[in-house]
Amino acid sequence: MNDSVNYQPASNRYDGMQYKYCGKSGLQLPVISLGLWHNFGSVDDFDVATDIIKYAFDHGITHFDLANNYGPVPGSAEINFGRILKENFQGYRDEMIISSKAGHEMWAGPYGGNSSRKNLMASIDQSLRRTGLEYFDIFYTHRYDEVTPIRETVQALIDIVERGKALYVGISKYPPEKAYLVYEMLSDAGVPCLISQYRYNMFDRTVEKENLSLAAKNGSGFIAFSPLAQGLLTDKYLNGIPENSRAARPTGFLQSSQVTPEKVEIIRQLNEVAHRRGQTLAEMALAWTLKDKRITSVIVGASSVKQLDDNLHALDNLEFTFDELAEIDQILLKRVKHRKEK
């Protein structure tokens, strides 16, 4: 059990982390950030969640990524994080970058889940109350909802900054043509898009087509979520589906049907490359995502301090040889070929 009363952050907490400027701004982010999408809700162990956040901060992770609907239950991750801050981090708020988002379904009725001004304004007020914060460092529009005019969403983001509810704004999962409009409108208003958040990992390289270059061209930083593909890019599934893993749950983003023999064989081959590099597969997968200089940070999730510690060891070897990258690409091409044949 954690001892919140006596917690003092490590004095050497910034020694081992690397930081990168986020887009064309003066803000630096750690190259590894902590996401609270899973494992920090009301159904999870509060003491474990507290220990993970302490360990993260002790090792230079200054960026903590939330959203209004994170839990379960929705909203509970923000509540728990706010309690952890209050009980452990009094006096350290200015050393933290705390982000939240709104746009997915959060409450009942027609106003509880889109990118409208109504939803964004109500959501950030709710999120600030849940966390007990006076402001967020970054507030995102969580998705393009295919209905709300871009100008309406952008104006809400501008007003959020001008009213002091967030220092910076960002976008998440916007298609390239819509992202371009957001970048342009925010820039014209003098409130540039600080950061763009998208899924990016060895198994999902969609952003390489347009989003990465578009963000860089428009001065936006880029942060990748799901860099381990919900745990697939680890050694967790090499010998079947563990009982308490995400793929074993009846509901969730990773289904057991996705853990196919073909995919496991690819994971096994990637794992062999990682071992030759002196890394776990998770460490190599994180390093691979960070190899692109346009990536500001990757968001990792963690269900234990040990898991987070493993992720942090990715920083011990971020360099790849040409031959290693070529071998990894060849292994991944087998997956693409198999998918097309099906």
Measured distance CA(239)–CA(262) in Å, rounded: 13
Measured distance CA(45)–CA(277) in Å, rounded: 34
Q: Is residue 200 part of a domain?
A: yes
The DSSP code sequence of 29-66 is EESEEEE-SSS-STTS-HHHHHHHHHHHHHTT--EEE-
Neighbours of 277 (CB within 10 A): 16
Q: Is residue 115 part of a domain?
A: yes
pLDDT tens profile 185-227: 999 999 999 999 999 999 999 999 999 999 999 999 999 999 9
Q: Is residue 86 part of a domain?
A: yes
Residue-level pLDDT at 27: 98
Q: Is residue 270 part of a domain?
A: no
Reading the block at residue 78, the tokens are 């923000």
CATH at residue 148: 3.20.20.100
Residue-level pLDDT at 334: 74
Neighbours of 130 (CB within 10 A): 20
Measured distance CA(189)–CA(41) in Å, rounded: 36
Residue-level pLDDT at 261: 83
Q: Is residue 266 part of a domain?
A: no
Q: Which of 167, 169, 66, 47 is nearest to 126 (CA)?
A: 66
Structural domain for 250, as ranges:
19-256+281-316
pLDDT tens profile 78-135: 999 999 999 999 999 999 999 999 999 999 999 999 999 999 999 999 999 999 999 9
In Å, how far are 8, 9, 55, 148, 299 from 13, measured between CA atoms?
A: 11, 7, 10, 43, 19
Measured distance CA(193)–CA(171) in Å, rounded: 7
- The mean pLDDT values, 10 residues at a time, for the chain of 342 residues are 72 98 98 97 97 98 98 97 97 98 96 96 98 98 97 98 98 98 98 98 97 98 96 82 52 61 90 97 98 97 96 97 97 67 50
Rg (CA), the chain: 20
Q: What is the DSSP letter of 211?
A: H
Specify the number of domains making up the chain. 1
**Overall pTM surpassing 0.85 (yes/no):** yes
Q: Is residue 267 part of a domain?
A: no
Residue-level pLDDT at 247: 47
> Nearest 5°: CA angle at 16, between 205 and 29?
50
Residue-level pLDDT at 245: 54
Q: Coil, strand, or helix at residue 304?
A: coil
